[in-house]
Structure 1
Amino acid sequence: MTEQNYTPDQLIRLSALQMADLLRAGTITSVELTQAHLDRIADVDGGESGIHAFLHVNTDEALAVAAEVDAIRAAGGLEADALHPLAGVPIAVKDLIVTIGQPTTAGSKMLEGWMSPYDATVVEKIRTARLPILGKTNLDEFAMGSSTEHSAFGNTLNPWDPARIPGGSGGGSAAAVAAFMAPLALGTDTGGSIRQPGAVTGTVGAKPTYGGVSRYGVIAMASSLDQVGPVTRTVQDSAALQELIGGHDPRDSTSLPKPLEGLLTAAQQQDITGLRIGIVKELQGEGYQAGVLERFQEAVKVLEDAGAVVQEVSCPHFGYALGAYYLIMPSEVSSNLAKFDGVRYGNRVVPDGGGTIEQVMGATRAAGFGEEVKRRIILGTYALSAGYYDAYYGSAQKVRTLIQRDLEAAFDQVDVLISPTSPTTAFAFGEKLDDPLAMYLNDVATIPANLAGIPGISVPGGLSEGLPVGVQFLAPVRGDAVMYRAAAALESRLEQQWGGPIWQQSERLAATDHSQTAGGDR
Structure 2
Amino acid sequence: MSDLTRRTAAELADALAGGETTSVELTQAHLDRIAAVDGDVHAFLHIDGEGALAQAAAADARRAAGAPASPLDGVPIAVKDVMATAGLPTTCGSRILEGWVPPYDATVVKRLREAGLPILGKTNMDEFAMGSSTEHSAYGATHNPWDLSRIPGGSGGGSAAAVAAYEAPLAIGTDTGGSIRQPGAVTGTVGVKPTYGGVSRYGLVALANSLDQAGPVTRTVLDAALLHEIIGGHDPLDSTSIDAPLPKLVDAAREGASGDLTGVRIGVVTELGGEGYQPGVLARFQESVELMTKAGAEVVEVSCPTFVHALATYYLILPAEASSNLAKFDAMRYGLRVLPEGPDGTVLPSPSAEEVMRATRDAGFGDEVKRRIILGTYALSSGYYDAYYGQAQKVRTLVSRDFEAAFQQADVLISPTAPTTAFKLGEKVDDPLAMYLNDLATIPANLSGVPGISVPNGLADEDGLPSGIQILAPALADDRVYRVGAAVEALHIAAWGGPLLAQAPELEGPAR
* TM-score normalised by length of structure 1: 0.95
Q: Would the aligned equivalents of 2:421 and 2:466 in 1 still touch at CA under 8 Å?
A: yes
Output the CA distance in 2 between the equivalents of 1:353 and 1:419: 56
Output the CA distance in 2 between the equivalents of 1:74 and 1:225: 42
Output the CA distance in 2 between the equivalents of 1:388 and 1:519: 53
* Residue deviations 1:363-393 (CA, integer Å, cap 9, x gap): 0100000000000000000000000000000
Aligned residue number for residue 344 of structure 2: none
Q: Would the aligned equivalents of 1:93 and 1:173 in 2 still touch at CA under 8 Å?
A: yes
Q: Would the aligned equivalents of 1:150 and 1:370 in 2 still touch at CA under 8 Å?
A: yes
Which of 382, 385, 394 is 1:386 aligned to? 382
Matched, 1:332 2:321: yes
Q: How does 1:39-118 map to 2 (within 5 A)?
A: 39-46=32-39, 50-76=40-66, 80=67, 82-118=68-104
Which of 483, 493, 496 is 1:495 aligned to? 493
Q: Partner amino acid for 1:353?
A: L
Q: Partner amino acid for 2:348?
A: G
In the TM superposition, what is the alpha-carbon distance from 1:69 to its structure 2 partner? Answer: 1.3
Aligned residue number for residue 295 of structure 1: 284
Matched, 1:11 2:7: no
Aligned residue number for residue 37 of structure 1: 30
Q: Would the aligned equivalents of 2:270 and 2:301 in 1 still touch at CA under 8 Å?
A: yes
Segment drifting more, 336-345 vs 287-296: 336-345
Q: Would the aligned equivalents of 2:36 and 2:508 in 1 still touch at CA under 8 Å?
A: no
Which of 361, 365, 368 is 1:365 aligned to? 361
Output the CA distance in 2 between the equivalents of 1:259 and 1:211: 12
Matched, 1:504 2:502: yes
Which of 432, 452, 455 is 1:456 aligned to? 452
Aligned residue number for residue 234 of structure 2: 248
Q: How does 1:11-410 map to 2 (within 5 A)?
A: 11-46=4-39, 50-76=40-66, 80=67, 82-269=68-255, 270=258, 271-351=260-340, 352-354=347-349, 355-410=351-406
Output the CA distance in 2 between the equivalents of 1:75 and 1:459: 37
Task: Give the secondary-structure state (helix, strand or coil) at the position aligned to 1:411.
Answer: helix
Output the CA distance in 2 between the equivalents of 1:518 and 1:10: 14
* TM-score normalised by length of structure 2: 0.97
Note the aligned Cα RMSD (angstroms).
0.9
In the TM superposition, what is the alpha-carbon distance from 1:505 to its structure 2 partner? Answer: 1.6
Q: Would the aligned equivalents of 1:419 and 1:471 in 2 still touch at CA under 8 Å?
A: yes
* Residue deviations 1:174-207 (CA, integer Å, cap 9, x gap): 0000000000000000000000000000000000
Q: Would the aligned equivalents of 1:159 and 1:518 in 2 still touch at CA under 8 Å?
A: no
Q: For structure 1, which runs of at least 5 residues remain unmatched after alignment?
A: 1-7, 510-516
Q: For structure 2, which runs of at least 5 residues remain unmatched after alignment?
A: 341-346
Output the CA distance in 2 between the equivalents of 1:260 and 1:417: 21
Q: Percent identity?
A: 68
Q: Partner amino acid for 2:52?
A: A
In the TM superposition, what is the alpha-carbon distance from 1:75 to its structure 2 partner? Answer: 3.1
Aligned residue number for residue 475 of structure 2: 477
Q: Partner amino acid for 1:52?
A: H
Output the CA distance in 2 between the equivalents of 1:97 and 1:69: 22
Segment drifting more, 220-229 vs 350-359: 350-359
* Residue deviations 1:55-106 (CA, integer Å, cap 9, x gap): 0101001101111111222233xxx2x5211000000000000101110000
In the TM superposition, what is the alpha-carbon distance from 1:53 to its structure 2 partner? Answer: 0.3
Aligned residue number for residue 467 of structure 1: 465
Q: Partner amino acid for 1:204?
A: V
Q: Would the aligned equivalents of 1:246 and 1:260 in 2 still touch at CA under 8 Å?
A: yes
Q: Partner amino acid for 1:340?
A: F
Task: Give the secondary-structure state (helix, strand or coil) at the position aligned to 2:6.
Answer: coil
* Residue deviations 1:394-415 (CA, integer Å, cap 9, x gap): 0000000000000000001100
Q: Partner amino acid for 1:306?
A: A
Output the CA distance in 2 between the equivalents of 1:343 and 1:75: 48
Output the CA distance in 2 between the equivalents of 1:274 and 1:497: 22
Q: Would the aligned equivalents of 1:461 and 1:469 in 2 still touch at CA under 8 Å?
A: yes
